[in-house]
Amino acid sequence: MLPMNTTNTTPKYLIPLLLAVALAALLVGVWAASGFLDASRDSKPDDLVSATYLAGGKPVVEFALIDHHGERFDNARLQGQWTFLFFGFTYCPDICPMTLAVLDEVEEELRQNGTDINLKTVFVSVDPARDTPERLADYVPFSIPTFSA
């Protein structure tokens, strides 16, 4: 049988030293993160860099959906305009709202730059079991007031 060691063998300076190292690491981490955030805010491009226009395009296959007002949404509602289609779902916590906000910024920037195109963004749900027309009627105008469903 071994005798129990009742004496504390930890040096008295070790705990304060570990706390000081942890605090220094925390401060360096906060400083580095603030530098990265400042750099990302400054790197936002002010101008549209480039775009590709493919003349002609492809015809859209006939389809029929129901919009957030319970009305038919089909090919006829896409005629005579450019349309961004965004496929998502209303229970999407992060990506969908951020993407909708980016698309809204694109529309706004095009309008501010005097781009003379008729542009519409359409939100298409990929979760029809939960995304009822009533839920979409609340979600679409709340997310981005200029959007259609």
Which residues fall in the annotated binding site? 92, 96
Q: Which residues make up each annotated binding site for Cu cation?
A: 92, 96
What b-and-e string marks burial along 6-29, b requiring 16 or more CB atoms within 10 Å of the CB? eeeeeeeeeeeeeeeeeeeeeeee
Q: Could you tell me how many residues make up the chain? A: 149
